[in-house]
Amino acid sequence: MRERFALQYKADEHRRMIGGKETIIHCHHYNARLQHTIEHVTDVDGAKIIRDSAEAVFAEHVANVLEEGDDEATRLAAVGALYAHLGFGRLELSRAAEGVVTSDQSHYVEGWQAGFSETQRKACTFTEGYLQGALAAALGRPFSVREHKCMNAGDDRCEFTVDARHEPVLRNDKRPSDFHPKAADGHGEHGNIDEQAIIDALVQMPFMGSDEGLIPAFGVYLALTPADFYNLMCIQFVEQMRAKGLFRTAQRLLTFAGETCAMNTFRGIMASAEWDALIAPMIQHKEDALYGLMALSNGFGWGNWRVTEHRPAETLTIESLNGYEAIGHREYRGSCDDPQCFMLCGVSAGMMELVYGEGLLEDRFGTFLSEENQCICTDAPCCHFEVEPA
């Protein structure tokens, strides 16, 4: 089964393709934070946005990895194997026909335990949506899936009920973008960091779930999530918030999730064995850590972004040639009037706070401000971020 999920790396675009889908590497902390952000805004039904997005994307993703002639057992095995391969955890699907699926390992539960352990609530909305889409692809009919036991709520395993439903499976409707990224001209500042060596190492690294379906690496749990999922979820969240006059709030919330990602995920990465092994020896000046983080994020499939100007501890200017948020927005909705790269915008500020800030992380939040002042979504040739002290 694993060979169906073999990585195809598009070096010129920094894209990681698995089962015909562009996948993005993020950690448990960011994924749980993003879910927490979207589900805790009372003005919209965040859980439905997450569930619907996962259903639409994974119905397509699982269909991509099924083969003609697969019997039902093999098709169900693919549902669990893809979930595990991408790092989301371990599913037990042997009782799916009776309407029960369980899980004893979960990327999202790990994220909630790390960031929001006090909540003691059911945390697996993503998995509900994954199962709705994946089971529909495998069994050819739509389902409604709800979690009724969760490890994050203190249960010994997560348990989901699977019921037949009448509403058709949601579709992942998008059009190929007509945008052509400008060529990377080799400019950009890299300090003492050998970006290509870092990306080569990342491509060699076997990012796939262990027997438990988790990917512990860089001091965090990583997962390979289709860019479509992030894009569909965030676009729907922003649209529904905008309809209520809350566009700026949505923008701030998603940007803050990116800033938190940079501070927590990248701090974990900078303390990891991988960092010590390859990147730390390249660092001669403080700003080299920032360039190292940029190189890693390019290798994680976020796109191709680079520093164009940097005054250490003061200002940072970054351009992004093909960030997944901008490209995704064009694919789903076409061009628009406002920049849409909220994650990269937040990460830009968060990296400055992490590399140059002092004291507790909590005290560093908001000490730098970032702005995306041009975006591929607004028909600019690239996205452009500026960061300065608050």
Partner 1 sequence: MVHRERSYACIHPETYKYFFHVDEVRRIWGVLQACYGPLHHTPGFGVIEIQSERFLFRAVGGGNPITVIRRRGCTDADVEALHRRIGFFERA
* Residue from the set 6, 164, 205, 243 that interacts with partner 1 by CB under 8 A: 205
Count the Cβ atoms, other than its own, within 10 Å of residue 168: 9
* Residue from the set 210, 252, 285, 389 that interacts with partner 1 by CB under 8 A: 210
Q: How many CA atoms lie within 13 A of 68 on its CB side?
A: 0
Could you tell me which of 381, 247, 369, 297 has the C-alpha nearest to residue 26?
A: 297
* Structural element, H or E, at residue 273: helix 273-274
| Residue 357 lies near partner 1 (rule: CB under 8 A) | no
* Residue from the set 216, 246, 335, 371 that interacts with partner 1 by CB under 8 A: 216
Q: How far is residue 39 from each of residues 50, 51, 54, measured CA to CA in Å?
A: 8, 11, 14
* Residue from the set 62, 220, 250, 349 that interacts with partner 1 by CB under 8 A: 220
| Cα 66 to Cα 81: distance, rounded to the nearest angstrom | 11
Binding span for partner 1 by CB under 8 A among 47-55, 89-97, 236-244, 266-274: 266-274
| Residue 36 lies near partner 1 (rule: CB under 8 A) | no
* Residue from the set 138, 202, 250, 387 that interacts with partner 1 by CB under 8 A: 202
* Residue from the set 201, 246, 336, 369 that interacts with partner 1 by CB under 8 A: 201
Structure letter (DSSP) for residue 183: P
Residue pair 329/40 in contact by the 8 Å Cβ criterion: no
Q: What share of the chain is helix, strand, coil (3-state, %, to 5)?
A: 50, 20, 30
* Residue from the set 219, 317, 365, 388 that interacts with partner 1 by CB under 8 A: 219
| Cα 264 to Cα 258: distance, rounded to the nearest angstrom | 10
| Residue 265 lies near partner 1 (rule: CB under 8 A) | yes
Residue pair 97/138 in contact by the 8 Å Cβ criterion: no
Binding span for partner 1 by CB under 8 A among 213-221, 228-236, 238-246, 305-313: 213-221
Binding span for partner 1 by CB under 8 A among 45-53, 260-268, 282-290, 330-338: 260-268
Look at the block and give the residue holding tokens 């969240």.
237
DSSP bridge pairs for 16: 9, 23
| Residue 153 lies near partner 1 (rule: CB under 8 A) | no
**Minimum CB distance to partner 1 smaller for 65 or for 355:** 355
* Residue from the set 21, 28, 51, 306 that interacts with partner 1 by CB under 8 A: 28
CB of 31 to partner 1, least distance (A): 12
CB of 114 to partner 1, least distance (A): 5
Q: Is 16 in a helix, a strand, or coil?
A: strand
How big is the chain by its Cα radius of gyration, in Å? Answer: 20
| Residue 42 lies near partner 1 (rule: CB under 8 A) | no
| Residue 249 lies near partner 1 (rule: CB under 8 A) | no
Binding span for partner 1 by CB under 8 A among 12-20, 83-91, 160-168, 203-211: 203-211
Residue pair 295/243 in contact by the 8 Å Cβ criterion: no
**Distance from the first to the final alpha carbon of the chain:** 50
Q: Is 124 in a helix, a strand, or coil?
A: coil
Report strand pairing: 21-27 vs 15-18: antiparallel
Look at the block and give the residue holding tokens 């190492």.
201
Binding span for partner 1 by CB under 8 A among 43-51, 81-89, 274-282, 332-340: 274-282
* Residue from the set 1, 11, 243, 277 that interacts with partner 1 by CB under 8 A: 277
Residue pair 295/190 in contact by the 8 Å Cβ criterion: yes
| Residue 318 lies near partner 1 (rule: CB under 8 A) | no
* Numbers of helices and strands, H then E, in the chain: 13, 13
Binding span for partner 1 by CB under 8 A among 18-26, 123-131, 217-225, 245-253: 217-225
CB of 367 to partner 1, least distance (A): 18
**Minimum CB distance to partner 1 smaller for 113 or for 378:** 113
With CB under 8 A as the rule, give the number of residues binding partner 1: 32
Residue numbers of the site for partner 1 (CB under 8 A)? 27-29, 109-110, 113-114, 151, 200-206, 210, 216-217, 219-221, 264-265, 267-268, 271-274, 276-278
